[in-house]
Structure 1
Amino acid sequence: MSDNNILACDIGLKRIGLASHIQGITLPLPPILRKNRDQAALALSQLLKDRAINILIVGMPESDEHKPHEMERRIKHFVSLVEFSGTIIYVNEALSSKIAQESLFELSKKERKEKIKNGELDSLSAMEILERYLSKQ
């Protein structure tokens, strides 16, 4: 696994949080701010190519066994728009945003609000999703 370049993403309707694991180090990356899905898919495709990523971890909400979560359909459609020939792995993202938000607890309310608005929280959530994947490897 050490020679794999891994990128995790937390796909939302406004932002895509990103985190990478390269040479044993996990770091949050600047998020992709979505104008539309084609622009966001192109930006993610380019990032995957530029960073020579070979494993893409995608956060997926838990769904009821009888009825898939609406975001599951949206996320899978978005991922189908991304140009990527590596491995795609879906990881349960349950509570990842809440855990990420708790990591900002020491900040002032204004600073927390800014990190939510600029997408840093989404990238911390992607980092949590990536850590879940890595802990099972």
Structure 2
Amino acid sequence: MTHNILACDVGLKRIGLATLTQGIILPLTPIIRSNRNQAAKELTNVLKERDIHILVVGMPSGGEAAHSDMQKRISHFIALLDFEGEMCFVNEDYTSSNALESLSYMKRQNRAKAQKDGRIDSLSACEILQRYMQSHNI
């Protein structure tokens, strides 16, 4: 049985999204956050529209004060979702820098635009989904 899986990279300004479609990881249009309730509502809608069974959430590993603060913010945000499926947390350390590196072929202004419009965040979500699949041998 195939499960519909969505990965998200929760940030303060944007939420990157990626999905697994016929065995291929694809970035989706990111959610631009104006506030956490609006972003939670939009993410809940994506989960329902795509009939998602498993939500994979990127979570920093912790250790540093900034990381534990972000862990709390992500946990609080995820608690706002109306989602009945399985939830899985994956270490997201370095996913953003890896995503930015994957765009190294672009000119600097295009990379900056990709950061601003959230494409980087969705590429980070692709990496989070990749890590989930590797850890579950999918």
Give the TM-score normalised by structure 1.
0.95
In structure 2, what is the equivalent of residue 58 of structure 1?
57
Range with bigger deviation, 63-72 or 78-87: 63-72
The answer as to whether partners of 1:4 and 1:22 remain within 8 angstroms in 2 is no
In structure 2, what is the equivalent of residue 125 of structure 1?
124
**Aligned partners of 1:4, 1:24: CA distance in 2, in Å?**
11
In structure 2, what is the equivalent of residue 69 of structure 1?
68
The answer as to whether partners of 2:18 and 2:125 remain within 8 angstroms in 1 is yes
After superposing on structure 2, the runs of 4+ consecutive aligned residues of structure 1 that deviate more than 3 Å are 65-68
Task: List aligned pairs for 1:74-93, cutoff 5 A.
Answer: 74-93=73-92
Q: Which structure 1 segments of 5+ residues have no match? A: none
SS in 2 for 1:69: helix
Q: Which structure 2 segments of 5+ residues have no match? A: none
**Aligned partners of 2:111, 2:67: CA distance in 1, in Å?**
32
**Aligned partners of 1:106, 1:67: CA distance in 2, in Å?**
31
SS in 1 for 2:120: helix
- 1:14-58 Cα distance to aligned partner (Å, 9 max, x none): 000000013312100010000000000000000000000000000
The answer as to whether partners of 2:60 and 2:67 remain within 8 angstroms in 1 is no
**Aligned partners of 2:65, 2:115: CA distance in 1, in Å?**
33
User: Shift of residue 76 of structure 1?
Assistant: 0.4
Give the TM-score normalised by structure 2.
0.94
Q: CA RMSD in A?
A: 1.7
**% of aligned pairs identical?**
51
The answer as to whether partners of 1:3 and 1:23 remain within 8 angstroms in 2 is no
Q: Does 1:21 align with 2:24?
A: no
SS in 1 for 2:103: coil
May I ask how many residue pairs the two structures share in their alignment?
136
SS in 2 for 1:91: strand
Matched letter for residue 49 of structure 1: K
User: Shift of residue 65 of structure 1?
Assistant: 9.4
